[in-house]
């Protein structure tokens, strides 16, 4: 009678133990990896070169400031508004609502087309953000000033004929 686990019995029956199959497979994988790694051509590391002549660094191309598009859409004037507001933020990071309105009017927009939320809360604290809008030819150019940056988008006019919902400041 042949006992299970007897090595000779397993060989006689033509079966290879699972543990031996795993070891053989691992050995084949390692051998193939070693053979394939020898097929890769060695690469040389680039060596720094020294030069006695100096090369001039490229001159930065001046950026052209966007301009207001007279008679243009809200989308066409969006880059200009972002530019104007970014300049305001750089000189007055804690601007008031009226400063935003005055800046946009000075940039060529009609005061009657503007809406701006208050820079202060009802309890007198500084608002986290100030929203503004410009009604341009049936579209709303919407903006938000928060954390020293301006974000803009273009949206539809509300059923009220305005762009912003809620309390806005008087711009008169």
Task: Write out the DSSP string of 116-170.
Answer: E--SB-TTSPBPSEEEEEEEETTEEEEEEEETTEEEEEEEEPPTTS-S--S----
Residues 78 and 133 in one domain: yes
Same domain for 92 and 22: no
The pLDDT score that the predictor gives to residue 142 is 98
Write down the pLDDT at residue 64.
Answer: 87
Domain membership of residue 30 (yes or no) is: yes
Say if 65 falls within a structural domain: no
Same domain, 81 and 132: yes
Q: Determine, yes or no, domain membership for 125.
A: yes
pLDDT reported for residue 9: 45
Residue ranges of the chain with pLDDT lower than 70? 1-62
Q: Which pLDDT belongs to residue 119?
A: 95
Q: Which domain holds residue 19?
A: 7-37
pLDDT reported for residue 17: 59
Claim to verify: residue 80 and residue 145 sit in the same structural domain: yes
78 & 152 share domain? yes
The structure's pTM equals 0.63
> For residue 13, what are its two tokens?
């029956």
Q: What is the phi/psi pair of residue 148, to 5°?
A: 70, 20
Within a domain: residue 20? yes
Instruction: Judge whether 63 lies within some domain.
Output: no
Number of domain units in the chain: 2
């Amino acid at each position: 009678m042949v006992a299970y686990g007897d090595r000779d019995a397993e060989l006689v029956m033509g079966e290879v133990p699972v543990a031996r199959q795993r070891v053989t497979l691992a050995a084949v994988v390692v051998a193939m990896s070693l053979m394939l790694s020898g097929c890769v051509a060695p690469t040389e590391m680039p060596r720094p070169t020294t030069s006695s002549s100096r090369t001039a660094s490229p001159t930065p191309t001046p950026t052209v400031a966007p301009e207001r598009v007279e008679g243009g859409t809200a989308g066409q004037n969006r880059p200009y508004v972002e530019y104007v507001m970014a300049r305001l933020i750089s000189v007055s990071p804690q601007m008031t609502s009226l400063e935003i309105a005055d800046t946009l009017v000075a940039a060529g927009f009609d005061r009657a087309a503007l809406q701006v939320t208050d820079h202060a809360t009802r309890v007198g604290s500084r608002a986290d953000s100030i929203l503004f809008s410009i009604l341009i030819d049936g579209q709303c150019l919407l903006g938000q000033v928060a954390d020293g940056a301006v974000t803009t988008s273009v949206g539809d006019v509300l059923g009220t004929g305005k762009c912003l919902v809620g309390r806005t400041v008087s711009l008169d």
